[in-house]
Structure 1
């Protein structure tokens, strides 16, 4: 029967081998494959035009001007945290507000009034739910085609373009269902707004 003294070196050797494989070799191989075959996604799907970075296609940005498509409510904390240079860090999280709670009800009511005031052309029409609620992450970059369509008259009027021209831009940056059957169609807010500004072609 082998003694513990004889077994320990083999156990340590096996541990080190596994650590090298799972902690070094495997991550390097996966990262290398990602860089070669999915370079854009591996680097955060950053939208970069002529050397200037405008943001990630996977993260929302807040737009409040009448010239732009508005996204979902964002759960951001811009006051609590700073880095060692004194720069503000932005954090996002799920709101964790109860659907039966007064706080969420109040937040939605406030957002409804804001949406109505910004889109008087849609007076009396139902507001798409994703325009008055946040996503689980608080940073969803997409809205539904219905939410985009709701804003078409406002943006077209503000920019002095036709509604049909605006709809063509929205359609161009609308993603279909995954594999054609899973999920729902979704509009990337940042991409549409960059296209409206002539940055994305």
Structure 2
């Protein structure tokens, strides 16, 4: 029994050192060397201050900004997930009807599966132009250009759908409207 204990302890300590120390430090060093921005969370800055990550959605309620998709978890990344409402759920129907009454287009009616989706469709962004033009004082054609500039195409040309990162779009919108005022 003792003769088996010490070899097992050595293997345990070696694997702990390897998987808990050497491997994470190697991967982190590689990421910091070759993908520094991504390794640090793909943070976006405004006036020298980090305002969010381009990979994690945020809720925007200000009428002069583009709004994100609804989130079942209030954009809290800790319990990441959807609402898990069944298609026949009365609560889901009520939430969708409320969003529809507010004038939301199709992909703004439903929450994303993760609850943290940073993107909306170009159509959802375009549907918000009248409100933003009215609130920000920018013209709708300028907003269309801004949306077009921020539209990301399908990954590798065939994966996913065209999309607009709401945080990046809002940062440029704030920049454009500050020059207008």
Rounded Cα–Cα distance in structure 1 between residues aligned with 2:52 and 2:66: 16
Aligned in 2, Cα 1:155/1:40: closer, same or farther, shift over 3 Å? same
What is the aligned partner in structure 2 of residue 103 from structure 1? 91
> What is the deviation of 1:172?
2.1
Give CA-to-partner distance per residue, 1:137-186, whole Å, 9 cap, x none.
21211101111111122222332222221122112222221112111111
Rounded Cα–Cα distance in structure 1 between residues aligned with 2:61 and 2:46: 23
1:58 maps to which of 51, 55, 59: 55
Aligned residues: 176
8 Å CA contact retained: 2:73, 2:82: no
RMSD: 2.4
More strand by share: 1
Gaps of 5+ in 2: 177-181
1:165 maps to which of 142, 145, 155: 142
Asked whether 1:76 is paired with 2:53, we answer no
Rounded Cα–Cα distance in structure 2 between residues aligned with 1:77 and 1:163: 29
> What is the deviation of 1:94?
1.7
Asked whether 1:38 is paired with 2:15, we answer no
8 Å CA contact retained: 2:74, 2:115: no
Query: TM-score, normalising length from structure 2?
Result: 0.86
What is the aligned partner in structure 1 of residue 175 from structure 2? 198
> What is the deviation of 1:92?
5.0
Gaps of 5+ in 1: 79-88, 117-126
Equivalent positions of 1:135-154 (< 5 A) are 135-154=112-131
More helix by share: 2
1:113 maps to which of 93, 96, 101: 101
> What is the deviation of 1:19?
1.4
> What is the deviation of 1:51?
2.1
Asked whether 1:16 is paired with 2:4, we answer no
8 Å CA contact retained: 1:75, 1:139: no
> What is the deviation of 1:91?
5.5
Query: TM-score, normalising length from structure 1?
Result: 0.78
Deviates more, 1:135-144 or 1:10-19: 10-19
Q: Which has the larger radius of gyration?
A: 1
DSSP 3-state at the match of 1:107: helix
Rounded Cα–Cα distance in structure 2 between residues aligned with 1:154 and 1:197: 15
DSSP 3-state at the match of 1:198: helix
